[in-house]
Amino acid sequence: MQNVKDLTKIYQEFPILSQKVYGKDLVYLDNGATTQKPRSVIECIQTYYERYNSNVHRGIHFLSQEATQLMEDARSGIASLIGVDDPAEVIFTKGTTEAINLVAFSYGETFIREGDEVIITQMEHHSNIVPWQMMCARKKAVLKYIPLNADGTLALDQFEDLITPRTRLLALTWVSNTLGTINPVKEIIAKAHQHGIHVLVDAAQGVQHLPTDLRDLKADFLVASGHKMYAATGIGFLYGHRELLSVMTPYQGGGSMIKSVSMDHSTYADIPFRFEAGTPDISGAISMGAAIDFIQGIGIEAIQKYEHGLFQYAIDQLKNLDRIRILGNAAHRTGTISLIFDQAHPSDVGELLDKQGIAVRTGHHCCQPIMDFYKTPGTLRVSFAVYNRESDIDRLVEGLQKALSML
C-alpha cells in the first residue's frame, strides 16, 4: 500500500462499498460526515468482543490486562499519528464534540474570569461555537470571532485587532467541514502565542487527510473524532499540554478519575485518567488503534497526495457544469466541495443522487454561520476519502447532470 497507484484498489478493503443501492453500485461521497470502516477495523472490534472483552485498568486477570494493553496501545498510536511524545497527554472522549465541551468547561473553570475573552471563527462547526457560547455565558466572558472572506478563507488581517490583554484562548478549525479550506494553523498559533493566548485546534477534518505534527504546530489543544478517520463511532480524543491538563478542573466525576475518596473530600488522578471518568468505550478506542495502523500502513503523505488528485479531478469536472456554483475557492483545500444550484434545492438534487446510488450530504452541515455568510439555506457537500476513485467522480457528474435535467 505504499504506492499511491495501489490506492485505486484500496476500496476493496471496505466491505460496505461492495453493495448496491437501488440497483446501482454504491458511490459513497459523504466522508465529511463519517468514513466507512476497513476490514481490519471491523475484525479488530470482533476480536475484542470474542477474546478480550473486559473492563480496563481495574482487573488483574488476563482479559483485563489484555484489554488494557490494547487500549493503551491505541493511545500511543494516536500520539504517534499527531506527533506527541507523551501518550498521557491524549484523552479518550466520545468524539470531537465532547472533547471541545471538555476543554470549554474545564479550561473555563480554571482559567476564565469575568471579562476575559475567547476568539473563535465564522468558519466553525457548531460544536466549536456553542460550547464557547455556553462557557462565556456561564463565566460572564466575551466571545469574539474572526470573519470569513468571500473566497472561503478567514479574514486573518482582523485577528490581531480582536486581541486585547483579556484574550485567553483561540479555538479554530484546521479544515472547514463545509468549504474544505485549510487554515494556516501553524502561523495562527504562533501569532496567538506571541500574545500569550492558548489555542485549541479542531482537527476533525484534518488528521485523516494531512500530516499532523504537534511538535511543529505547537497547538495547546487538538481534538478529533475516530469515526471520521476509519474507526468506530462514539470515540475520539483530546490532546492537551500536560501543564494545562494537570491543573484543569475535571470535566466529570466518578470511577477511574480519582486518587482517593472520603465522605468529605476527593483527590484526582493524574492525566490522562482524571478526564476519563467511568467505563470508557474500550472497543471504540481499540478500533482507533486499528484505524491508525491502517492510515500509517498507507502513509499519510500518500493519502494526502492521492486525495488531492481526486479533489482536483472533481473541481475540473464540476466547474464546467451548468447551473452549479462551488462555494469558496481558497488556494489550499482538502477534498470537500460544497455546491449550490440555480433554480434547484440542494436537498432535491441530493435525493435524486441517492436514487442513483450516490451518497452525499445536504443541508447546513452544522455550519449555519457559513450559510448565513453566503446567503444560502444549505449546500450539497461532496467529501472524499482514500477509498474513492475517479470513477466515483464520473458517476457524480453524470448523476448531477441527470438530476438537474429533472429539476
Active site residues: 366
**Cβ neighbours of residue 46 under 8 Å, at least 6 residues apart?**
none
3-class state of residue 181 by DSSP: strand
Region label for 146, one of left (φ > 0), alpha (ψ between -120 and 50) or beta (otherwise): beta
User: Residue 365, by phi and psi: left (phi above 0), alpha (psi -120 to 50) or beta?
Assistant: left
How far, in Å, CA of 224 to CA of 14, rounded?
22
Residues in the chain: 407
d(CA 63, CA 56): 9
Joined grid coordinates for residue 287: 478500533
CB 366 within 8 A of CB 125: yes
Residue 322: count other Cβ atoms within 10 Å of its Cβ.
8
Place of cell 488528521: 207
Q: Which of 20, 26, 18 lies closest to 358, judged by CA? A: 26
Task: Using the structure block, give the residue that is written with the C-alpha cell 448565513.
Answer: 372
